[in-house]
Each structure stands twice: as structure tokens, then as C-alpha cells.
Amino acid sequence: MMAELSLDFQFTSSINKVWNALTDSDTLAKWIMENDFKPVVGHRFQFRTQPTEWWSGIIDGEVLIVDAPNRLSYTWISGEEHTVTWTLQDLGDGKVNLHLEQTGISNAQAVEGAKYGWTNWFGEFEKVLEEM
């Protein structure tokens, strides 16, 4: 049975800044990993970090949906293939909700690992937004 991760993050920012932090390769590198990401449907890309004895440090992906500045989806392949989908919602008063859905996860332990990873990355994401 496949599992999924669903998280929401709220930011005091413009929806365009949040979109840029999700889709600009240089900005992504500041909060997640070095990459060759482009927000173009069909573009194949990699996130790259230091390998460990258990992992190559590479996440392969392909962009599936680009609906600026509302929705972005791509595959996330590292051992198993997941789909990551971001949905942005302007809440007004300078607030944005960013919803993450990661599907195709094989088990509860992997869901907890993904939750831990995204939560840590979003500490950096918030810092990047403040610098923009």
C-alpha cells in the first residue's frame, strides 16, 4: 500500500516570491540542494548533495505540471519514485499558504523520513524568502 505526505506551510511573503523560491535553480540551491531545475514541463533534472555510504546524493526528477504561480509538480526519484506537488494559495494580507503533497511513498517510515527532510529544508526556505 502506498502512503503519502501532506504538509502546509504559511509564509508572510508574496505568492510570486514563494513561487520563485520553488522554481529558480539558484534559489532552490540555497534551501534544498544544488540542481539543474527548470520550470518547464518535461524537463529532466537532478538535485545533488554529498553522497553517503547509504545514498548516492542524487535525486532525479521530471517536471510534470507548471501553472505559475499556483501549482508545480515533478517526480522525485531516489530509490523509489514519488510525485511532489506544490499548491500555492494567496491568503491575502501578505500571507501565502504552501501545500506540499508527496505521493507514491512505500511505507510509514519513508513518510516520516520525508516529513523530517522537508521540515528541515523549510527552515532554510523561510530564510531565503526573507533575503529576497
pLDDT tens-digit map of 12-58: 999 999 999 999 999 999 999 999 999 999 999 999 999 988 889 99
Residue 14 CB-half CA count within 13 A: 5
Can you give the C-alpha Rg of the chain in angstroms? 14
Q: What is the reported pLDDT for 1?
A: 64
130 exposure class (CB count in 10 Å sphere: 0-12, 13-18, 19+): exposed
pLDDT value of residue 110: 87
pLDDT digits (tens, 9 = 90+) for 56-97: 999 999 999 999 999 999 999 988 999 999 999 999 999 999
Q: Is the pLDDT of residue 122 over 80?
A: yes
The helix (H) or strand (E) run that includes residue 97 is strand 95-105
In single-letter form, the type of residue at position 23 comes to T
Q: How far is 98 from 118, CA to CA, in rounded Å?
A: 12
Cross-strand partners of 97: 10, 89
Query: 34-35 and 44-48: which strand pairing?
Result: antiparallel
